[in-house]
Amino acid sequence: MLSEAEQLEILQKYDPESNTRNVTGIFKKIVFFGLLAFSIFQLYTSIGTPFTAYIQRSIHLGFALALIFILFPARKKIGVKRNKVPFYDVILSLLSIGVGLYWPLLIDELVMRVGRVSPLDMFVGVVAILLTLEAARRAVGLPITIISVSFLTYAFFGPYFPGFLAHRGQDLKSVVQLMFYTTDGILGTPISVSATFIFVFLLFGAFLVKTGVGAYFNDLAVVLAGRLVGGPAKVAIFSSALQGTISGSSVANVVGSGSYTIPMMKKLGYRKEFAGGVEAAASTGGQIMPPIMGAAAFLMVEFIGGVTYWQIAKAAAIPALLYFTGVWIMTHFEAKRVGLQGMSEDQIPNRKETLKKIYLLLPIIGIIVFLLIGIPTMKAALLGIVLTIVVSAFDKSTRLGLKDMIEALVDGARTALAVAAATACAGIIVGVVVKTGLGLSLATGLISAAGGNIFLTLFFTMLAAIVLGMGSPTTANYVITSTIAAPAIITLLMLDTPDAAVPLVVAISAHLFVFYFGIIADITPPVALAAFAAAGISGGDPIKTGVTSAKLAIAAFIIPYMFVFNPAMLMIGASIPEIVWVVATAIIGMIAIGAGMIGYWYRKCNWIERIIAVGTGLLLIYPETITDIVGLVLFTIMVVIQWLSRNKDEDNNKVAVAS
């Protein structure tokens, strides 16, 4: 298992959110108390609603920006100990505090002169925009800043763009007013979600970590899956699915569970690239795993409107199940192909002691129950934190003292900094889209480019989401694709299904589609940060690891198309028999696809059998009765042939191991 220092080095290399200064002295105290105050403020506003939207969001922004400039250096130097905060970052931090306090201190004046911008307003607004862009560059990465600047450029130079992209253009005053003095820009919906739902759920995750639940996930996974064929790989899948509930970052998930599972997989006999690929694919899937999904899922609630977070989580349940089923099946076939066994008994934690701590899962179960009975999302997260504290008291080893709770508040706020920067930057993008009508223009252009074909529209959207996801976090990616591409998907789907009862189904399926592909970008070469982090642990080739992880996660490239065409997969407006049939045929289909991708079933498959197996799987996943019937017939034939000829080449495993 990797040491904490080695884990931190990998995180700093592949995860911008972790590449922070090691502040000392007075700045260490400033950061500590600043983060603590940030969490206390957020908890206070979560329990009640004491502030208006402008005040809450601007204070949230001010906290995040001020702390980012102290913690995140302007230049990244991996592996170099940095503890000094230069004078210019102190100035930027003080300016951030000023920006955060501008609305609270002058709200009456600002409301009275709505639509009019004073010279001081202009100065503060310009500073707010520049600080937001720079903070996002430091905490999230350069790509999101470039994208946001590109959108701002589009706002200013609209008349010079060709064709349907042209618009009358905006002057500096109108852009500044939009970005900082309305709720359509930096202080818009994205940062509103950051300041409410996302922050509280990040605190919930931080409290769970303090109870030791992350390590417990690994132990539980080993107890349940360690003795199975290819045990460590299945441990990685199971553990990473659970870790996704407390980590909103694919890279952080890879390092957290991969530092334990990847060495185990290598020791058992898995290739470096395969071991890294399994962990990357499983860790990335954590963001699509209910009950607590990636941060963008909370944005989805606001963007769709008229939908609860529980409905989003419920709709994502079956696709997430199929995703992890696909990864599980392929690791199983790979283990069978190479002839790998499970873990030995001495590598398995004490089952009795591990199962005695099953109570650590109660807070996660509690969140599900709270959402199910209709408790508002933010209140459910707060109750989850309370339940975590109560549950931790069951045992001395997990009990949270005052010091632990304070540290959890600090850690949760630290995690929220990059999210706040990303959502503020995403607000710039949304503001430009709203002001210029770019969303409608691009949606119309996308439909035109696809010739009105829904499949081509989905394909172009998939490419856009993956490309954007290679350079920006899931949150920003979702904001862009949901405002530009999702409306085109919804328009075409509504033309095919004009029934007035289905708009909600169509909206959720379209938004989940772009959400999925934004996440999958983390394991899609050539820029696959989760896979690169896994390669850093395994010692394998990064690109080969990325290709392997994308192959293992093939379900994620197929399933979104399926739930767009068959909403029964989302459990919305479908009967129980329909849902059971869809799930059953899809799982059988994933078995066939897994066998075809790996090249092994009951024995090694030749290339013709592999093509037939993949085709059979696609037929079973495609939502049509006739394709299901044909697929089941072919599947049965393939199983019979494979079973009867399973001993035909007994030396396959030996050859595979030798190679």
Segment 266-325, tens digit of pLDDT:
887 888 998 899 988 988 888 888 887 877 888 898 888 888 888 898 999 999 989 999
Lookup result for tokens 């690239």: 273
Residue 253 identity (one-letter amino acid): N
Number of neighbouring beta carbons within 10 Å of residue 268: 20
- The pLDDT score that the predictor gives to residue 591 is 94
Cα–Cα distance for residue pair 594/551, rounded to 1 Å: 9
Nearest to 167 by CA among 432, 430, 427, 426: 432
Cα–Cα distance for residue pair 645/639, rounded to 1 Å: 10
Residue 177 identity (one-letter amino acid): Q
- The pLDDT score that the predictor gives to residue 496 is 64
- The pLDDT score that the predictor gives to residue 655 is 45
- The pLDDT score that the predictor gives to residue 271 is 87
604 by DSSP, 3-state: which?
Answer: strand
DSSP annotation of 161 reads S
- The pLDDT score that the predictor gives to residue 239 is 79
DSSP annotation of 606 reads P
**And the tokens for 580?**
């059971």
Cα–Cα distance for residue pair 543/462, rounded to 1 Å: 21
- The DSSP bridge partners found for residue 600 are 604
Nearest to 634 by CA among 609, 616, 615: 616
- The pLDDT score that the predictor gives to residue 594 is 92
294 by DSSP, 3-state: which?
Answer: coil
> Could you give phi then psi for residue 2, rounded to 5 degrees?
-70, 150
Q: Contact 45/379 with Cβ under 8 angstroms?
A: no
Contacts (Cβ under 8 Å, ≥6 apart) of 443:
484, 485, 487, 488, 491
DSSP annotation of 600 reads B
- The pLDDT score that the predictor gives to residue 244 is 67
Q: Look up the pTM and report it.
A: 0.86
Q: Contact 482/498 with Cβ under 8 angstroms?
A: no
- Listed as ranges, residues in the chain with pLDDT below 50 are 79-81, 500-501, 653-659
Residue 320 identity (one-letter amino acid): A
Q: Contact 631/587 with Cβ under 8 angstroms?
A: no
Q: What share of the chain is helix, strand, coil (3-state, %, to 5)?
A: 75, 0, 25
Planar angle of CA 231, 234, 238, nearest 5 degrees:
135
- The pLDDT score that the predictor gives to residue 1 is 61
